[in-house]
Amino acid sequence: MGAPSGTDPASKGVYQAKQQDLGALAVPDTEESELARRLWPERSREGTSAFEYDRQRIVQARSFRRLAGKTQVFTSRDSDHFRSRLTHTIEVAQIAREVARALKLNEQLVEVLALVHDIGHPPFGHAGERALDRCLQAHGLRFDHNLHALRIVEHFENWYAAHRGLNLTLGVREGIVKHSRDYPESQHPELAPFFLGLRPPIEAQVIDLADEIAYLTADLDDGVESGLLEIDHLCTHISIMGRAYQEMQARHAGVDQKFLFHEALQWMQDELTADLIRNTTANVVENGLSSLDDVRIHSARVAVFSTNVEAMRLEEKRYLYNTLYTCPTLVAEHEKAETVVSTIFNFYMRSPDRLPSGYLQESEREGLPRMVADYIAGMTDSYILQQFWMASKLWRS
């Protein structure tokens, strides 16, 4: 791999193609567009696209604001500099928009999908999600953050007089459902309105990879900040970081390691982003895709990394899993998080009258376990810890 074109100011201009210039593969946002339709028809303000409306509703939603209080990787906050779900979300949005602009996709739809992509995550990151899923399995149910995100935007964010939920466009709700996975219609007949037999538009496909780029960069940064990762070790074991670091040493001889590491992270992020742009373009051209319908019926997702970069992505992912996510410090944090989540789940199952009245009413229709899980999934890390101390006190008295 040569110098990344994404970091060279001259070639970076190549990606700064005309903004808002929707290519033939982009999702249209005209009122006639099927993906711009809403369950409850609404008239748009003049000059505001359907997806800009969606962005406004998501940014003003309480579940979006609560992302600030939810773990990305580190549950014990002994640094103010670790990513939260909110700052991770902002990083995903800026990467996704860069890709969308270069590919002439619908940049507004991409931004909305990035902003909403993690809204269904419970407190305490993946440990919280695993614990909630285990609690529900005991009742024959499952917890899935994509499906929970759909429940949030369709049912739990109730602030508008004329409709339930945020009344988001079909394109945004389809993107929420298809984030990082494809659900078989045989197992999820309730998701039939979201074209389960078809590929998502490229705008939705891009989000998954922008998410990968964001966390592959951020988790190394936060891992070093936490003292759990060492720069020399990770540069020896992650080939893309080894190359990035060498490149930065050659460019900035004699500067402190902290600057080289930061520059190397930026280099890697630019390289991954540029590869995604190049390879997606190549896939579109090689497969002769010339319309959104072509993308929909294509045999595979077209927004993917090249084979070479995909191998490096997997190598880094393995390293992060073995060296960071499963290290004793984080395993201990995850165990504590799982105890808190399962304790609060059992508490509300035994004392449903302590649930907020809306959840209690809904439990008659959807069953108590699902409503308890919905309530817990909306909590921030600090709120569920308060609940944990409250429950512990009540049980002791």
C-alpha–C-alpha distance, residues 35 and 12, integer Å: 31
3 state SS of 84: strand
Which helix (DSSP H) or strand (DSSP E) does residue 284 occupy?
A: helix 257-286
Q: Which is nearer to Mg ion, 118 or 271 (CB)?
A: 118
Minimum distance between the CB of residue 165 and Mg ion, rounded to whole angstroms?
A: 22
Q: At what angle do helices 239-251 and 257-286 cross, to 10 degrees?
A: 120
Is residue 219 a contact residue for Mg ion (CB under 5 A)? no
Is residue 118 a contact residue for Mg ion (CB under 5 A)? yes
Q: Alpha-carbon torsion 114, 91, 152, 340, what sign?
A: positive
Minimum distance between the CB of residue 211 and Mg ion, rounded to whole angstroms?
A: 4
**Binding region for Mg ion (CB under 5 A) out of 103-111, 207-215, 227-235, 345-353:** 207-215
Q: Residues 331-341, buried b or exposed e (16+ Cβ, 10 A)?
A: eebbebbbebb
Each residue 71-90 as x (binds Mg ion by CB under 5 A) or -, in order, gives: --------------------
Pick the binder of Mg ion from 54, 111, 129, 211 (CB under 5 A): 211
Point out the residue whose Cβ comes nearest to Mg ion: 211
Give the Å distances, CA to CA, from 189 to 154, 162, 194, 212: 17, 27, 10, 29
Q: Which is nearer to Mg ion, 173 or 370 (CB)?
A: 173
Q: Which is nearer to Mg ion, 75 or 283 (CB)?
A: 75
> Is there a contact between 225 and 79 (Cβ–Cβ < 8 Å)?
yes
Q: Which is nearer to Mg ion, 157 or 211 (CB)?
A: 211
Q: Which is nearer to Mg ion, 119 or 371 (CB)?
A: 119
C-alpha–C-alpha distance, residues 82 and 286, integer Å: 41
Minimum distance between the CB of residue 277 and Mg ion, rounded to whole angstroms?
A: 20
Minimum distance between the CB of residue 215 and Mg ion, rounded to whole angstroms?
A: 6
Minimum distance between the CB of residue 330 and Mg ion, rounded to whole angstroms?
A: 18
Number of residues that bind Mg ion (CB under 5 A): 2
Is residue 91 a contact residue for Mg ion (CB under 5 A)? no
Q: Which is nearer to Mg ion, 179 or 243 (CB)?
A: 179
**Binding region for Mg ion (CB under 5 A) out of 113-121, 175-183, 289-297, 389-397:** 113-121
> Is there a contact between 220 and 313 (Cβ–Cβ < 8 Å)?
no
Q: Alpha-carbon torsion 115, 27, 47, 42, what sign?
A: negative
Q: Which is nearer to Mg ion, 50 or 276 (CB)?
A: 276
> Is there a contact between 74 and 333 (Cβ–Cβ < 8 Å)?
yes
Q: Which residues bind Mg ion (CB under 5 A)?
A: 118, 211
